[in-house]
Amino acid sequence: MEVSLQRLFSTFADGWPGAGLLLQRLVTAVTLLYCGAAHLKETSQFPSILPYMVGAGAGLLLLVGLWTPAVGAVIALAEVWIVFSCAGDPWKPIILATLGTSLAMIGPGAWSIDAHLFGRKHIETSTR
């Protein structure tokens, strides 16, 4: 059974809503990459690094807008994992989990690889 992104989202937002989704994807992805790099420099313990690396990898996919619903869910799970397994301020992972969840629900927007791969195609017909 094949489920395409077009079935999940009736449209891929463009215009101002699409720009807002692009901005949300960029801010979330850059923050995930920054947190992954900062935590990698801070410690070398594998169990502690793993959720941050999962988040950074998901951030790379989110940056280009590829598989956004699944990536948003992975981000949310990785950030909840960080909240419950790592000491420190929980607010950044909670905010990132919320952003990942909202992107999973709303979709990637028109300026994404998902929209180009799975969006509606315009079929031109020739009239004779």
Tell me the per-residue pLDDT of 27-56, one tens digit each, with 9 for 90 and over. 999 999 999 999 888 876 777 789 999 999
**Of the segments 4-18, 59-73, 108-122, which one has the largest average pLDDT value?**
59-73
- Which pLDDT value is given to residue 111? 83
> Does the pLDDT of residue 2 top 70, yes or no?
no
> Does the pLDDT of residue 6 top 60, yes or no?
no
Return contacts of 45-53, CB within 8 angstroms, 24+ apart. 47/85, 48/86, 51/78, 51/79, 51/81, 51/82, 51/85, 51/86, 52/78, 52/82
Q: What is the DSSP-derived secondary structure letter of residue 109?
A: -
76 close to 101: Cβ distance less than 8 angstroms: yes
Q: Where are the domains of the chain?
A: 28-117
